Amino acid sequence: RLLTHHSSLLASLAEHYKHHWFPEKPFKGSGYRCIRINHKMDPIICKAASQIGLSLPQLYQLLPSELTLWVDPYEVSYRIGEDGSICVLYEATATKPVSSYGMLTCKNQMMLGRTSPSKNYIMTVS
């Protein structure tokens, strides 16, 4: 079931991001690609889950009540809770130099209001 959900989620994200994916400018459109669960389930997650028969109550049991996921061409980061640390889930090297790296992204805007520095962790799946 997990592999089926994975495929369904990838297909939903690919369709949703079709005209909002810019590898040459990884942070362009980052606000659009931000997935949020803030006591309300993100529609992309709902769509992918319903395609494989998962109900909304099941999703709320499986996922945190507050989750932010930033999906960019060379990095996927997440934060659990409003004051949680931002963790890197996936990181890749750009094939070309990225000139917009210092741009103010959705994730960076969220970090601006912090009173303490964020801790960055890399999570790996084996």
- Percent of the chain residues topping a pLDDT of 90: 29
- Write the pLDDT tens digit of every residue in 3-20: 666 777 788 888 877 877
User: What is the three-state SS of 66-108?
Assistant: EEEEEEECCEEEEEECCCCCEEEEEECCCCCCCCCCCCCCHHH
Domains defined along the chain, listed by start:
1-91 (3.90.640.90)
- Write the pLDDT tens digit of every residue in 72-102: 888 899 999 989 999 999 998 866 554 444 4
